[in-house]
Amino acid sequence: MKVRHDIHTHTLFSSCCYDPEATAAAFVEKAHELGHSVFGFSNHIWDERVPGASNWYKGQTVGYGLEEKDAIPSNTHGIKILFGTETEYCGMTDNLGMLAETAKKFDYILVPHSHTHQKNFVMAENPDVKAYRKTLAAEICEKLPGISEEQAQRMASTVKYQEVLAAIKEHTVDDGEYLADFLFTSFESLMVHPEFVKMAASVPTLIAHPFYPCGESKEQLSRVLGMLLAQKDRLFDDFSTAARMNVGLDVNIGTYRSAEDYKDDPMVAVMRIALEAGCKFGFGTDSHSLKGLENIRKGDAIGDAIGITEKDIADII
């Protein structure tokens, strides 16, 4: 199947987009060049009516996000433009970053449950890491008597997560298992979150990069996806729930290994289970640059490897 849409994109309205060319107008032109029939904008937004935004999300409000609508050119070359958003779900606190009522302002909502790189916001740090930071703070206090306990804690908290993990000699919690467990539990708690249930019933809703732990090394990623696939029945049940709720899945191009042949890709294996469970899909580059939109062409081979055909595409598209 030739993919003729892209509904996961970020322009300069997202704080993590650094491409000066990534404007709404340029994206529409590129979508035309790529032969899309449907194109969606999905910048990061945290609804200011929901308490608990991280500092990073604080500026990315609904009001701000909606301003981009005015920047969409009137000539879209016949492309159906969808104005959506990628909000947030923090599994560790069961906090959804948007109210169902607010979601109605958008054509569709992408809800990620796997922004696992946003530590202590989306996902709690591995308990080993937490314990290590505590020890580190105590050592800093001891060696630098002029420093307050609070300052030492702050210093210990700035050491990178992966660096702390590497420094721990005896692990009591395997980080891969910890991630795999989080991916399951966060997906499952999202599916029963009352506001999410309302949202899914009233606005086209898809899960952004389902079951893909963001920010992991290639090796760790393969391990974690292997652990998920070892629980095929649980994946099937979770995807069946999504299918019953008419919650679609984002086929996120960047989450597949770049290769000529995707048939042995673990993410393909995960999505095949979703297809079997009756889920619907939407393709997305998750591009944060103008050039990155071209990656959609990898979607043809990815979709074929999963077995997605026109009838499996989400209704909104």
Residue ranges that bind Zn ion, judged by CB under 5 A:
86, 112, 208, 286
Of 102 and 252, CB closest to Zn ion: 252
Alpha-carbon gap, residue 102 to 98, rounded angstroms? 7
The secondary element (H helix, E strand) that includes residue 203 is none
Of 81 and 208, CB closest to Zn ion: 208
Smallest distance from the beta carbon of 132 to Zn ion, in angstroms? 28
Strands 108-112 and 205-208: parallel
Whether 149 and 82 have beta carbons less than 8 Å apart is answered as no
Distant-in-sequence, close-in-space partners of 179: CB < 8 Å, separation ≥ 6: 116, 213, 216, 220, 224
Whether 97 and 46 have beta carbons less than 8 Å apart is answered as yes
Of 6 and 286, CB closest to Zn ion: 286
Of 8 and 223, CB closest to Zn ion: 8
Smallest distance from the beta carbon of 143 to Zn ion, in angstroms? 40
Smallest distance from the beta carbon of 88 to Zn ion, in angstroms? 9
- The end-to-end CA distance of the chain, in Å, is 14
Smallest distance from the beta carbon of 46 to Zn ion, in angstroms? 13
Of 112 and 282, CB closest to Zn ion: 112
* Structure-token match 């391990």, residue found: 223
Alpha-carbon gap, residue 19 to 11, rounded angstroms? 8
